Amino acid sequence: MKNSHPKKIFIEKDVAKSSVTQQILHKLPDVPVEYIDDYRTIKIDECKIDDVFKKSKECLAIARKKGELVKQFKCRDGIIGNTEYYISHGNNCSFDCEYCFLQSYFDNAIPTLFVNHDEILNAVKDVLQVAGDKKIVFHAGELCDALAFDGLTDLSLKFISLFSEFPNARLELRTKTTTIDNLLNVSGINNIVVSWTFSPQVIVDAYEHKTPSLEERISAAEKVQRAGCNVGICLDPIIMCEDWFNNYKAMLEMLFDRLDIEKIKFVSLGGFRYLPSLAKIIRERNPQTNLLLGEFVPCIDGKHRYFRPIRVEIYREIGKIIGEITHDVKVSLCMETREVWNTVKDVL
């Protein structure tokens, strides 16, 4: 519970009596509570922006998600990717990665849990039923780590139960946590993939503040596999650092040595990218950071990425490292341009 023990809880009056709210409060009996009308209006007053983020991440908000509960995601023109669905089960998380795009995405940085689970699950079910026999992919963890608060909400168990009725669909739970207890005692969950973002420990130390170490993430992935679950490996964002090649090579060798290759569903590669609005916050919060050093260029979707030859080199080298270990795991690029895909596809 290290990552989900807040100093203060804000609760929307509308969901104060909900069973999920009561379950969370039961698990956090000593935390002060403030009842509010709308989580979007919570303000954390501090002079420095870094303090606003830090203090916000020590709180928790419990709210009802209104509007789109399931969002269809399509890549913008020029960026390659499949149409997939994102489940809105929460906003933000209590970790504090320097590169997190959510810093410039929401009005506040308070980890927020949407507890209208029945409405969310019904919205997912509606999409699944319309899809029929078509293969369809859902994600949890796009706007909030998928498992960071699972110890409080048990939402993963509800997802697993729903997706067991739809074997053609797949749900990816994207995380950096070690909150896996709920996944260790369920069986026959072939269409759930728990995908960890793995980074070399030097990157974890430099940029992924308050997150579990690389070793802790690998150990959690091992346990989940042993319990029968598939895992995904996300190297996203890949961040250039001194001796990047050897750092990523050592990590990949460790991953493929420790994990069961048959139960690795995919490896996804994505270079660090950012919108100018995020760069401003990163600089303001971390004036000494090395994250934005390097050759970045604006791309067709408005995001800045490493200069194309650098990205190509990264993907080709990582593709070759994986190719020397196995050809049985699907490797793909995340949010990349057609030009880059075409230049690296022979080694993926």
Q: Which of residues 101-140 bind ligand SF4 (CB under 6 A)?
A: 102
Is position 285 an interface residue for ligand SF4 (rule: CB under 6 A)? no
Query: At its nearest, how many Å lie between ligand SF4 and the CB of residue 46?
Result: 18
Sheet architecture: strand order including 112-114:
33-36, 8-12, 59-63, 112-114, 90-91
Binding characters for ligand SF4, 151-190, by CB under 6 A (x = yes): -------------------------x--------------
**Options 12, 86, 89, 96; binder of ligand SF4; rule CB under 6 A:** 96
What residue type is 9 in one-letter code? I
Query: At its nearest, how many Å lie between ligand SF4 and the CB of residue 95?
Result: 4
| Strand-pair partners of 274 | 304
Q: Which is nearer to ligand SF4, 11 or 93 (CB)?
A: 93
Is position 61 an interface residue for ligand SF4 (rule: CB under 6 A)? no
H helix or E strand, kind and range, residue 175: strand 169-175
**Options 6, 85, 109, 145; binder of ligand SF4; rule CB under 6 A:** 145
Closest by Cα among 123, 19, 7, 129 to 65: 123
| Strand-pair partners of 297 | 305
Q: Which is nearer to ligand SF4, 169 or 180 (CB)?
A: 180
**Options 59, 97, 140, 238; binder of ligand SF4; rule CB under 6 A:** 97
Query: At its nearest, how many Å lie between ligand SF4 and the CB of residue 176?
Result: 5
- In terms of Cβ atoms closer than 10 Å to its own Cβ (0-12, 13-18, 19+), residue 221 is buried
Q: Which is nearer to ligand SF4, 85 or 272 (CB)?
A: 272
**Options 10, 53, 86, 95; binder of ligand SF4; rule CB under 6 A:** 95
DSSP letters, 314-331, are: HHHHHHHHHHHH-SSS-E
Query: At its nearest, how many Å lie between ligand SF4 and the CB of residue 42?
Result: 18
Closest by Cα among 131, 196, 195 to 169: 131
**Cα angle 160-127-170, degrees, rounded to a multiple of 5:** 40
Do you know the residue count of the chain?
Answer: 348
**What tokens were used for 191?**
């269409």
Is position 100 an interface residue for ligand SF4 (rule: CB under 6 A)? yes
Is position 150 an interface residue for ligand SF4 (rule: CB under 6 A)? no
- Report how far residue 245's alpha carbon sits from residue 242's, in angstroms, rounded to the nearest whole number: 9
DSSP letters, 98-134, are: TT-GGGGTSS----EEE--HHHHHHHHHHHHHHHTTS
Query: At its nearest, how many Å lie between ligand SF4 and the CB of residue 198?
Result: 12
Query: At its nearest, how many Å lie between ligand SF4 and the CB of residue 143?
Result: 8
Q: Which of residues 222-281 bind ligand SF4 (CB under 6 A)?
A: none
Q: How do 192-197 and 230-238 pair as beta strands?
A: parallel
Binding site for ligand SF4 (CB under 6 A): 93, 95-97, 100, 102, 145, 176
